[in-house]
Amino acid sequence: MIVACKKQNRNAQKALYELFAPKMMAVCLRYCKDNETARDLLHDGFLQVFTQIGSYSGKGSFEGWLRKIFVNLALENYRQEKKKVEFLNDYGKDETIFLDTPEDDYLDVGDIPRQELLNIIHEMPEGYRTVFNLVIFEDIPHKEIASMLGITENASRSQYFRAKTLLQNKVQSMLKKKYL
């Protein structure tokens, strides 16, 4: 199928799209603030996949290669829209909280429906959401994230912390509602 896609065979491209589109849509939804933006990202991502598929050497997982394209595109969109938006007073607060608070509290998200978690991720500010995704799902260290997004390592840690706190608060509130 990949070989046929490299030859720009439309049927093969369609088959590949139908096979991977749901998974890639899930990736897009995690990085975007709403469904509409995610759909645009899915479209642009597959367009890039089909135009650049010739560069896939066959080494490594094809799904991994595909996923990397979508993540990079999401980051590129993020960079284009706002290379860096910092509210200095909030940023200062972040630093303080980050330094004074234990790095991680236990958070049980297993009982929360996936759609609810996705909604919380959507509600996060764009910077938080991006860093959160990169830390949790891509396993990228803060130093590298800082380099990718053009921010400091502390800013990356801070944004991740705030994203996680936001998620924690929402989850706790949901759990309270559920068990009360």
Partner 1 sequence: MNQKDIFKEQLKSVFSNFEAPVPHDGWEKIEQSLNVVARAKIVRRNWYIGSAAATVAILLGSLFFLKSPQTIEQNLSTLTEKTTLDKIKSTDKQDVKVAKVEPAMEYKKSRQPKLARQKQEILVAKQTGRSESPIISNVTEQAPENIVIAEQPEEKKIQATEERKTQPEGKKAVQPNQEEIDRLIQEFENAGKTDIFRGLTVGKSKNKPLMLALNAKGGLRSSQKTVVNSPMTLRSASVEKSDENTNKDFYLGDLGNNLSAVSGNAALMNTLSVADNVAEKEHDQPVSFGITVSKNIVDRFSVEVGLVYTYLFSRAKNTSVDFQNQETQYFHYLGIPLNINYNFLNFGKLGLYTSFGGMIEKDIYGKKQYQAQITNELLNGMSKEWTIEKISQENPQISVNAGVGAYYPIYGGFNLYGKIGGSYYFDAKNTEKTIYTDKKIVFDLNAGIRFDF
Binding site for partner 1 (CB under 8 A): 8, 10, 13-14, 17-18, 21-23, 25-26, 28-30, 38-39, 42-43, 46-47, 50-51, 80, 82-89, 103-110, 112, 114, 117, 125, 135-137, 164
Minimum CB distance to partner 1 smaller for 23 or for 143: 23
User: Minimum distance between the CB of residue 9 and partner 1, rounded to whole angstroms?
Assistant: 11
* Residue 60 or 138 having the CB closest to partner 1: 138
Please name which of 72, 75, 91, 93 lies closest in space to residue 83, comparing C-alpha atoms. Answer: 75
How many degrees, rounded to 5, is the angle at CA 168 between CA 68 and CA 172? 140
Distance between CA atoms of 90 and 133, rounded to whole angstroms? 21
Q: Which is nearer to partner 1, 99 or 137 (CB)?
A: 137
Residue 176 CB neighbours (<10 A): 9
Closest to 168 measured CA to CA, from 98, 101, 89, 107? 107
Question: Shortest Cβ distance from residue 177 to partner 1 (Å)?
Answer: 19
CA distance 30 to 176: 25
**Which residue's CB is nearer to partner 1, number 75 or number 136?**
136
Q: Smaller CB distance to partner 1: residue 59 or 114? A: 114
Q: How far is 96 from 107, CA to CA, in rounded Å? A: 22
Per-residue CA distances from 99 to 50, 92, 106, 127 (Å): 45, 11, 18, 20
Write down the least CB distance from residue 152 to partner 1, Å. 13
Q: How far is the CB of 66 from partner 1 (least distance, A)?
A: 14
The least CB distance from residue 60 to partner 1, in Å, is: 19
CB of 59 to partner 1, least distance (A): 24
Nearer to partner 1, 57 or 89 (CB): 89
CB 157 within 8 A of CB 140: no
